[in-house]
Structure 1
Amino acid sequence: MRYLVDLGWLRSGLSFSFGEYFDPENTAFGVMRVCNDDLVAGGKGFGPHPHSDMEIVTVVLRGQVKHEDNLGNAEVTKEGQVQRMSAGSGIIHAEYNASESEELQFLQLWFMPRARGGAPSYETSSYEPSQMVNHLLPVVSHTGSEQVASINQDLTIYLSRLERGNELSFHQEAGRRVFLFVIEGELEVSGHVMETRDTARIQNEPHLQLAAKEDTKYMLIDLP
């Protein structure tokens, strides 16, 4: 069960210990440290604040997020795009809802880097939503490409929109983990039903069968 935060301008579902919420039994899943499901009111956001030695990924679900940092980056990221920031040796950034009237919804994910103390960096990548249909579409990976953001860790983030009645298989390599997040819909995972905003942490399951009980959008992360 996620910890829910409601500050009026910000509503969050926290999958791991974060901010005021601390559970010593729920601080990480492998290299994964944060999965925040954030809803930000128009014109609101997070003022300048520092990070170091963390890989931070923002997946925009609805609306637009404005990013600014002390490296000189200033960019707006929208649905169909992913933002990746490697904090490295240190970076100061701010994130705001780019709209004064519409809500912003995004997933923010934090991962420990493969190596500490590197040069901080930032990028925004775009993907084609139609390629998610009945397919696991990589949007972030350690190798990266023109449409896949690169990350300083041996992981891959997939997005998928599975149409009702369709199924996909995923093979989990030995010693690796899978984190699942159902964005909307109902997903059956090897006989277990997950509903909207449910998450799952899976280990030692070499074969996952993913079936849509209804049209379903979800995120799958392959982790070391």
Structure 2
Amino acid sequence: MIHQTPAKIYKAHQRGLTESNRQRLYATFNFDNYQDKSRLPFGSLTVLNEETLAPNHSIARQPETNIVSLLIPLTGALKYSHSAEDDHTIVPGEIAVLPFNKTMITLTNPYEDVLINYLYITFSGNGQANESEIATVNFEERNTLHQFISQHNINGYMAIFDGRRETIYKLKDPANGLFLFVINGAFEVQGRLLEERDGLALWNTSEADMEALSENAIILVFEVPLIGFTS
């Protein structure tokens, strides 16, 4: 008998949508006014938003206590300020890791006439506040998962794949869960089809196999503690 790993698929077209003249936001999990009992956090992964910000516009976020935030630009540069630090600007291939803090985060589109697209992701946990940092992912090295965060029991990876190339991710702790999010292209993960902006949660497994079904397919992988998660 073939063992079927427990899983939940989050289809891109089923995400919560919030839209205004300055921002479009697709929420994979519950966020602000988007609330659905089927979209509760997956363990310590609490927010995964794809956001588009209009030119010369800014938005502010007030993270809760014990939240780590990630900013991942997909199209264009993203300017942000956090705490008393100076402004920073990151581009695709760079990831801002912002520590546990209740300080306001301001996100800005620095362009005069170009939309920007980015991911805003948060994790809950307990720990001491670290300094914010900017991690990089080397997309020149393909078909390999590149780790960009390993702190507070959060392990995050990103990779770009050639078509039909595959890899296996082995969890550091089988008690953890695995969440995968397709940024570009399509993948087959544990026998399940994931298309662009789809997410997949896996649990009760020690590993996951993934195969790119298109050229230049990009995937995010997070191994997280299953805090408060019930299947």
TM-score range, shorter chain: 0.7 to 0.9
Write the distance in 2 (CA, Å) between the matches of 1:110 and 1:196: 20
Q: Which runs of 5+ in 1 are unaligned?
A: 143-152
CA RMSD of aligned residues (A): 1.8
TM-score by length of 1: 0.87
Write the distance in 2 (CA, Å) between the matches of 1:48 and 1:30: 22
| Cα deviation code 1:56-112 (max 9, x no counterpart) | 011111111111233133111111111111143x31231101212221111111001
Write the distance in 2 (CA, Å) between the matches of 1:2 and 1:189: 20
> What does residue 107 of structure 1 align with?
119
Question: Is the contact made by 2:72 and 2:120 (CA closer than 8 Å) also made in structure 1?
Answer: yes
Write the distance in 2 (CA, Å) between the matches of 1:48 and 1:194: 30
Runs of 4+ aligned residues of structure 1 deviating over 6 Å after TM superposition are none
> What does residue 49 of structure 2 align with?
36
> What does residue 123 of structure 1 align with?
133
* SS of match in other structure, 1:11: strand
Q: 1:101 to 1:192 in 2, by over 3 A?
A: same
Q: 1:65 aligns with which of 71, 78, 81?
A: 78
Question: Is the contact made by 1:114 and 1:154 (CA closer than 8 Å) also made in structure 2?
Answer: no
Q: Greater CA deviation, 18-27 or 193-202? A: 18-27
Write the distance in 2 (CA, Å) between the matches of 1:111 and 1:43: 28
| Cα deviation code 1:136-178 (max 9, x no counterpart) | 0111111xxxxxxxxxx11111101111011111123321111
Write the distance in 1 (CA, Å) between the matches of 2:63 and 2:166: 42
> What does residue 145 of structure 1 align with?
none
Q: Which runs of 5+ in 2 are unaligned?
A: 1-13, 226-231
Question: Is the contact made by 1:39 and 1:106 (CA closer than 8 Å) also made in structure 2?
Answer: yes
Percent identical among aligned pairs is 20
Question: Is the contact made by 1:181 and 1:200 (CA closer than 8 Å) also made in structure 2?
Answer: yes
Write the distance in 2 (CA, Å) between the matches of 1:5 and 1:15: 12
* SS of match in other structure, 1:101: coil
Q: 1:48 to 1:195 in 2, by over 3 A?
A: closer
> What does residue 213 of structure 2 align with?
213
Larger % of strand: which? Answer: 1
> What does residue 137 of structure 1 align with?
146
Q: Greater CA deviation, 68-77 or 208-217? A: 68-77
Write the distance in 2 (CA, Å) between the matches of 1:219 and 1:121: 23
> What does residue 148 of structure 1 align with?
none
Give, in angstroms, the shift of residue 23 of structure 1. Answer: 2.2
Q: 1:27 to 1:169 in 2, by over 3 A?
A: same
> What does residue 95 of structure 2 align with?
82
Question: Is the contact made by 1:178 and 1:203 (CA closer than 8 Å) also made in structure 2?
Answer: yes
Structure 2 counterpart of 1:158, one-letter code = Y
Question: Is the contact made by 2:54 and 2:116 (CA closer than 8 Å) also made in structure 1?
Answer: yes
Q: Is residue 2:184 matched to residue 1:184?
A: yes
Write the distance in 1 (CA, Å) between the matches of 2:129 and 2:154: 20
Give, in angstroms, the shift of residue 119 of structure 1. Answer: 4.3
Q: 1:64 to 1:204 in 2, by over 3 A?
A: same
Question: Is the contact made by 1:73 and 1:122 (CA closer than 8 Å) also made in structure 2?
Answer: no
Q: Is residue 2:169 matched to residue 1:159?
A: no
* SS of match in other structure, 2:205: coil
Aligned residues: 210
Question: Is the contact made by 1:67 and 1:75 (CA closer than 8 Å) also made in structure 2?
Answer: yes
Q: 1:94 aligns with which of 83, 89, 106?
A: 106
Structure 2 counterpart of 1:168, one-letter code = T
Q: 2:26 aligns with which of 13, 20, 41?
A: 13
